[in-house]
Structure 1
Amino acid sequence: MCMRLRSTRRRYWRTTFSLCFRVKNARCASLLCTGAPAGLRSKRIPQRKIFRKETKSAWRFENMCMIPYRFELLPMGSLRFTGMFDRAIRFVQERQLKDPAVWKRLAEPFRSGNADDANLAWRGEYWGKLMRGASLTYYYTQDPDLYEILEDSVRDLLSVQDGEGRFSTYSISREFQGWDIWCRKYVMLGMQYFLDICREEALRGEILEALKRHADYIVARIGPPSAGKRSITQTSKAWGGMNSSSILEPFVRLYTLTGAQRYLDFARYIIENGGVEGFDLFRAAEEDRLFPYEYPVTKAYEMMSCFEGLLWYYRVAKEPRYLRAAERFADRVLRSDITVIGSAGCTHELFDHSAIRQFDPAFDGIMQETCVTVTWMKLCYLLLQITGNVKYADAIERSACNALLGAVNTELQMCKGMIPVFDSYSPLRKGRRGREMGGYQKLDDTFAYGCCLAIGAAGTACTALSSVSRTERGFAFHLYQPGLVRTATASGQEASFRIDTDYPAGEEIVLTLQMQAPEQFEILFRLPPFGAGSTLQINGETLAENRAGFYAADRIWQGGDTIRIRADLTIRLWKDSDFLPEAANRPNRYGVLMRGPVVLALDTRANPGAVDIPLNLKQGAEQAEPIPDFALFPAEQAYRLCCGDRNVVFVDYASSGKEWNDRCETAAWVRITE
Structure 2
Amino acid sequence: MSQKHSLGPVSPVVDTFSKSQPLPLNEVTLSENGDLGRWQIHNAKTTIPHLIDNLISTGALANLQDIGTPKFKFKGMWFSDSDIHKSLEALCWSLHLYSDKKQTDFLKEATAAIAHAQQEDGYVNTYFQGVYPDEKWVNFGWGHELYVGGHMIQAAVAESRVLKDSPLLKIATKFADLLVKKFSAPGTLQMCGHPEIETALIELYRETKNESYLDLAEKMILGRGYEKITSKRDLGFHPASPSYMQDHKTVKEATTAVGHSVRQLYLNAAVMDLYAEKGDPALLKAQEAMWEDMVYTKMYVTGGLGSRHKDEAFGDSYELPNDRAYAETCASIANFMWSWRLLLVTGKARYADVMELSLYNIIAGSVSSDGCKFFYSNPLQYRTGHFTAFDTDASERLSWYTCSCCPPNIGRTVATLQHYMASATSDTFALHLYSEGTINTTLKSGANVGLKISTAYPNNGAVKIAVTENGKYALQLRIPEWCKDFSLSINGTASSEKRNSLGYVSIDREWKSGDAIDFDLKMTAEFLKPHPRIDAARGCVSLRKGPVIYAIEQADVQDKGCFVDDFAVDTKAAIKEAKVSIPGVGEIPALEIFGHFETFAKSADYPYANPLPVEHSSPTKITAIPYAQWGNRVKGGMKVWVPTQ
TM-score range, shorter chain: 0.7 to 0.9
Offset, 1:158:
2.6
Query: Is there any run of 5+ residues in structure 2 with no aligned partner, and where?
Result: 229-241, 395-399, 597-618
Give the SS at the match of 2:163: coil
Residue 177 of structure 2: aligned partner: 216
Of 314, 319, 323, the residue aligned with 2:284 is 323
Of 601-610 and 537-546, more deviation after overlay is shown by: 537-546
Change (3 A) 1:150 1:276: farther
Change (3 A) 1:391 1:561: same
Distance in 2 separating the partners of 1:253 and 1:262: 12
Relative distance call for 1:368 and 1:448 in structure 2 (3 A) is: closer
Mean Cα deviation higher: 85-94 or 485-494 = 485-494
Which among 500, 514, 539 is matched to residue 454 of structure 2? 500
Q: How far apart, CA to CA, are the structure 2 residues paired with 1:330 and 1:251?
A: 23
Task: Give, in angstroms, the shift of residue 547 of structure 1.
Answer: 4.2
CA distance in 2, matches of 1:337, 1:37: 33
Shift of residue 375 of structure 1?
0.8
Q: Within 5 Å, which residues of 2 pair with 1:105-116? A: 106-113=60-67
CA distance in 1, matches of 2:203, 2:581: 48
Tell me how far apart the structure 1 counterparts of residues 401 and 337 of structure 2 sit (CA, whole Å). 29
Shift of 1:428: 0.5
1:550 Cα offset (Å): 0.8
Q: Within 1, Cα distance between the matches of 2:114 and 2:468?
A: 44
Partner of 2:480: 528
Name the SS for the 1:648 alignment partner.
strand
Does residue 183 (structure 1) correspond to residue 148 (structure 2)? The answer is yes
Query: Partners in 2 of 1:410 and 1:459 — Cα distance?
Result: 17
Corresponding letter in the other structure for 1:286: K
Q: How far apart are 1:599 and its partner, in Å?
A: 0.5
* Paired residues of 2:144 and 2:193 also in contact (CA < 8 A): no
Partner of 2:319: 357
Q: Secondary structure at 1:627's aligned position in 2?
A: strand
For 1:554-565, what aligned pairs fall within 5 Å after superposition? 554-565=508-519
Matched-pair contact (CA < 8 Å) for 2:226–2:248? no
State yes or no: 1:232 paired with 2:204. Answer: no
CA separation in 2, counterparts of 1:439 and 1:214? 36
- Is the Cα–Cα contact under 8 Å of residues 318 and 534 in structure 2 kept in the other structure? no
2:43 aligned partner: 92
SS at match of 2:7: coil
Structure 2 Cα separation of the partners of residues 596 and 117 of structure 1 = 47
- What amino acid is the match of 1:264? L
Establish whether residue 314 from structure 1 lines up as the match of residue 264 from structure 2: no
Post-superposition CA distance 1:44-81 (Å, at most 9, x none): xxxxxxxxxxxxxxxxxxx8797556132244153132
Q: Is the 8 A contact 2:22 2:420 kept in 1?
A: no
Q: Would you say 1:429 and 2:381 are equivalent positions?
A: yes
TM alignment of 1:23-42, pairs within 5 A = 37=7
Corresponding residue for residue 470 of structure 1: 424
1:510 lines up with 2:460 in the alignment: no
Cα distance in 2, alignment partners of residues 69 and 457 from structure 1: 28
Structure 1 residue 118: deviation in Å? 9.1
Alignment of 1:458 with 2:408, yes or no, is no
Aligned residue for 2:397?
A: none
Q: Does 1:148 align with 2:104?
A: yes
Shift of 1:138: 3.4
* 8 Å CA contact 2:540, 2:641 repeated in 1: yes
The one-letter amino acid of 2:336's match is M
Cα RMSD, aligned residues only: 3.6
Amino acid at match of 2:333: V
In the other structure, the counterpart of 1:650 is 624
Partner deviation per Cα, 1:486-542 (whole Å, 9 max, x = no partner): 334657676532222212212311111123xx4321111112332523222222222
**What's the offset of the Cα at 1:285?**
5.0
Aligned partners of 1:117 and 1:146: how far apart in 2?
25
**Aligned residue number for residue 616 of structure 2:** none
Tell me which residue corresponds to 2:640.
668
Matched with 2:613 is none
Residues 630-654 of structure 1 show CA distances to partners (whole Å, capped at 9, x for unaligned) of 3375453212222262211111111
- 5 Å-filtered alignment, 1:23-422, equals 37=7, 67=17, 70-76=20-26, 78-81=28-31, 82-98=33-49, 101-102=53-54, 106-113=60-67, 121-139=78-96, 141=97, 143=99, 148-149=104-105, 151-152=107-108, 153-169=110-126, 170-171=128-129, 172-176=133-137, 177=139, 178-200=143-165, 203=166, 206-222=167-183, 227=187, 229=188, 232-233=190-191, 241-243=192-194, 245-274=195-224, 277-278=227-228, 286-287=252-253, 290-293=255-258, 298-348=259-309, 350-353=312-315, 356-358=318-320, 360=321, 364-365=323-324, 367-411=326-370, 420-422=372-374
In the TM superposition, residue 214 of structure 1 has moved relative to its aligned partner by 1.1
Give 2:568's aligned residue: 615
CA 1:218–1:112 in 2, change beyond 3 Å: closer, same or farther?
farther
**Number of the residue aligned with 2:495:** 543
Q: Which range moved further: 144-153 or 398-407?
A: 144-153
Residues 299, 163 of structure 1: alpha-carbon distance in 2 compared, 3 angstrom cutoff = same
Q: Alpha-carbon deviation of 1:612? A: 1.4
Query: Structure 1 residues 215 and 163, CA, compared in 2 at 3 Å: closer, same or farther?
Result: same
Contact (CA 8 Å) 2:436, 2:454: kept in 1 or not?
A: yes
CA separation of 1:376 and 1:150: change in aligned 2, threshold 3 A: farther
**Residue 574 to residue 110, structure 1, CA distance change in 2 (3 Å):** same
Which is further off, 260-269 or 530-539? 260-269
Q: Aligned letter for 2:104? A: E
1:415 corresponds in structure 2 to: none
Q: Secondary structure at the match of 2:199?
A: helix
3-state SS, counterpart of residue 551 of structure 2: strand
Residue pair 2:22, 2:344 contacting (<8 A) in 1 also: yes
Counterparts of 1:261 and 1:502, CA distance in 2: 44
How many residue pairs get matched?
A: 571
Aligned mates of 2:84, 2:430 — CA distance in 1:
33
Kindly tell me: are residues 110 and 155 of structure 1, through their superposed partners in 2, closer, same or farther at Cα, counting changes over 3 Å?
closer
Deviations 1:103-147 (A, max 9, x none): 6554332334488979972112111222233333335x2547687
Moved more, 566-575 or 633-642: 633-642
**In the alignment, is residue 569 of structure 1 matched against residue 523 of structure 2?**
yes
Distance in structure 2 (CA, Å) of the matches to 1:159 and 1:195: 20
Paired amino acid for 1:555: R
Q: 1:119 to 1:179 in 2, by over 3 A?
A: farther
Q: In 2 relative to 1, CA 438–137 (structure 1 residues): closer, same or farther, beyond 3 Å?
A: farther
Cα separation, partners in 2 of 1:331 and 1:113, compared to 1, 3 Å: farther
Structure 2: how far apart are the matches of 1:512 and 1:569? 22
Letter in 2 for 1:476: A
Query: Residue by residue, what CA displacement relative to the aligned partner does 1:329-386 show, whole Å, maximum 9, x if unpaired?
Result: 223221222211112012126443477333x46xx34611111111111111122122
Q: How far apart are the structure 1 equivalents of 2:38 and 2:416?
A: 13
| Unaligned segments of structure 1, at least 5 residues | 1-34, 43-62, 234-240, 413-419, 441-445
| Counterpart contact for 1:537–1:565, Cα < 8 Å | yes
Superposed CA offset, 1:156-196 (max 9, x none): 42343222321212123132322222212211221122211
- The one-letter amino acid of 2:329's match is T
Distance of 1:264 and 1:494 partners within structure 2: 33
Q: 8 Å contact 2:60–2:75 — kept in the other structure?
A: no
1:484 to partner: Cα distance: 2.7
The CA distance in 2 between the partners of 1:144 and 1:587, in whole Å, is 48
Give the TM-score normalised by structure 1. Answer: 0.76
Distance 1:70-1:261 versus aligned 2 partners, 3 A rule: closer
